[in-house]
C-alpha cells in the first residue's frame, strides 16, 4: 500500500477544533487530527479492500500508524487489521498481543478484540492462549480474553467463557468488570438461561457493575 497517500488524505481532513473535543473525550491521553469515524474509514476503504484482494499483510503500515502521535492513525491500523483479518493466522498472535499493549486504551483495544476473536474462531487451538491471557498482568490483555467471543452467539464456548471470567472475579479494575458484564450481556441475547445461572452461581464474587451489565437483557 501507499502509506503516505493514506496519511496525506487523513491530514487533509484534520479539524483542529474537533480534535480538541475528541482528545478531551479520551481524557487527553492522545492528540487527535479531528476526523469523524465515517470520514476516516471512507478515506482508506478502497486501499484496504485492495490489500485483502491482493492478500497483502503490510506490517510496515501497521507499525508506521502506531508510531504516529494522533489517534486516528492508530485507528487506521486497527481498521486495516479488521479488513484483512482473514489473511492472519496463529503466528500473528504475538504481534497482535504487542499492539494491544501499545498506546493502550479501550478504543483501540476493543477494535483489536474483533481481530483476536476472528482468529480464535478460525483456529480453535488458540483457546488455550486466551486462558493464559485471562491471567495476564496487563488489564488490556485480560480484557481481550474476556470479550473475544463477543457476537459469537451460538458458537460461544461457554466452558471457555466461564473459565476466563472466573479467572477475573473479585476485581476492582473498572475495565475488567465492564468487560465481564459485556461478555455476559452479549451472550444473554443467545442463551439467557445460561447467563442467569452463571450470575446467580457467582454473584458473591462478581462486581455489581458486571452483574448490572450482564443482567441488562435478562
In terms of residue numbers, what domain contains 118? 103-217
Residues 63 and 12 in one domain: yes
Q: Is the pLDDT of residue 107 over 90?
A: yes
CATH number at residue 60: 1.25.10.90
* Residues 109-130: tens digit of each pLDDT: 999 999 999 999 999 999 999 9
Count of domains for the chain: 2
Cβ–Cβ under 8 Å, residues 109 and 143: yes
pTM listed for this prediction: 0.95
The three cell numbers of residue 143 are 480484557
CA atoms within 13 A on the CB side of 196: 7
Cβ–Cβ under 8 Å, residues 34 and 14: yes
Q: Is residue 15 part of a domain?
A: yes
Cα 78 to the center of its chain, rounded Å: 9
Q: Is the pLDDT of residue 1 over 90?
A: no
Amino acid at each position: 500500500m501507499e502509506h503516505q497517500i493514506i496519511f496525506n488524505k487523513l491530514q487533509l481532513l484534520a479539524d483542529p477544533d474537533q480534535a480538541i473535543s475528541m482528545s478531551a473525550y479520551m481524557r487527553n491521553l492522545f492528540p487527535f487530527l479531528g476526523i469523524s469515524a465515517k470520514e476516516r474509514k471512507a478515506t482508506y476503504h478502497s486501499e484496504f479492500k485492495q490489500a485483502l484482494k491482493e492478500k497483502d499483510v503490510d506490517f510496515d503500515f501497521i507499525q508506521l500508524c502506531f508510531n504516529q502521535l494522533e489517534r486516528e492513525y492508530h485507528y487506521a491500523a486497527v481498521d486495516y487489521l479488521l479488513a484483512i483479518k482473514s489473511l492472519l493466522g496463529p503466528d500473528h498472535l504475538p504481534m497482535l498481543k504487542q499492539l494491544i499493549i501499545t498506546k493502550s486504551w479501550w478504543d483501540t483495544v476493543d477494535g483489536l478484540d474483533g481481530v483476536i476473536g476472528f482468529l480464535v474462531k478460525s483456529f480453535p487451538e488458540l483457546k488455550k492462549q486466551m486462558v493464559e491471557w485471562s491471567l495476564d498482568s496487563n488489564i488490556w490483555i485480560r480484557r481481550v480474553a474476556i470479550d473475544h467471543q463477543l457476537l459469537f452467539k451460538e458458537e460461544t464456548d461457554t466452558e471457555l467463557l466461564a473459565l476466563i471470567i472466573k479467572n477475573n472475579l473479585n476485581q476492582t479494575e473498572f475495565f475488567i468488570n465492564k468487560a465481564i458484564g459485556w461478555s455476559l450481556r452479549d451472550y444473554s441475547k443467545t442463551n439467557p438461561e445460561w447467563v442467569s445461572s452463571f450470575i446467580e452461581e457467582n454473584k458473591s464474587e462478581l462486581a455489581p457493575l458486571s452483574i448490572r451489565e450482564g443482567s441488562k437483557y435478562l
